[in-house]
Amino acid sequence: MPTRDKAVVAHLRHVFSAADCQVLMAVMDTTTKPAQLPELVAAAANDPASFVRTHVVRALLAENVKVDLTALLTKLRRETPNNLKVFLRCLKAACNVETDYLVSEDGVPCIHALRRVGLVTPNNKTAWGLAVVRTKNFAVDEWVLRDDPNDVPTVEGSVEELSRHLVELTHQRRGGTPPADFNRQMKHRFYALTKLTGWFNFRVEENNGGQASVVEIKTQDLFDDICRKDLDNLTIQGVNASPFAH
């Protein structure tokens, strides 16, 4: 994203609430032009039977989220044509996030998609990624990668060697005999894998024969897990936070 656009997005994030953005996602479609955004909001606000008023606003109010369509319209009319252009581009990017949860059962657009494109601030500290270790007996450990990769010393070894050692350390911990510096050893090997593979979201797997390998976790799978609240409000760069969060 160009530096100038980043500044515009930061401005939009300050002016428009998450609910504002959700309403805009609900009224627009793939053919919408920037100048039409105020018109679409005005039409929805003036029609008591509009989908936005009967579904989106009602559902948000049920969650104690205030929605003021008149105020939203006023804010849109104050924006420059260029700002509206950037705004619409981000909204369309949010609409194009690959997920099975882009719209709730109540018709409310997904707030995590808006966080992905930078229009909504994450609700907690953004992690760099997520590493998972799964042993052959299907024990699963999840590790959130919160440190800047440039600040973490790594260890030497191939992808196979690092993966095997991570599995061995996991077995030691689950067996009650982890080394004293267990967390440090795990972290350094996870970050070594990120440098070798280029992945920040990955799973180290042990097969029935005791061999270890690493596979990338798809962004959509993580995004869907977050939408289902399977990951305890985790915020991950490039998943449900901007790729430029760090």
> What mean pLDDT comes out for the span 123-129?
91
**How is residue 186 annotated by DSSP?**
H
d(CA 226, CA 230): 6
Nearest CA to 113 out of 8, 238, 245 is that of 238
Nearest CA to 196 out of 175, 183, 213 is that of 213
> Could you tell me the pLDDT band of residue 4, with boundaries at 50, 70 and 90?
confident
pLDDT in tens, 74-111: 999 999 999 999 999 999 999 999 999 999 998 999 99
d(CA 55, CA 61): 10
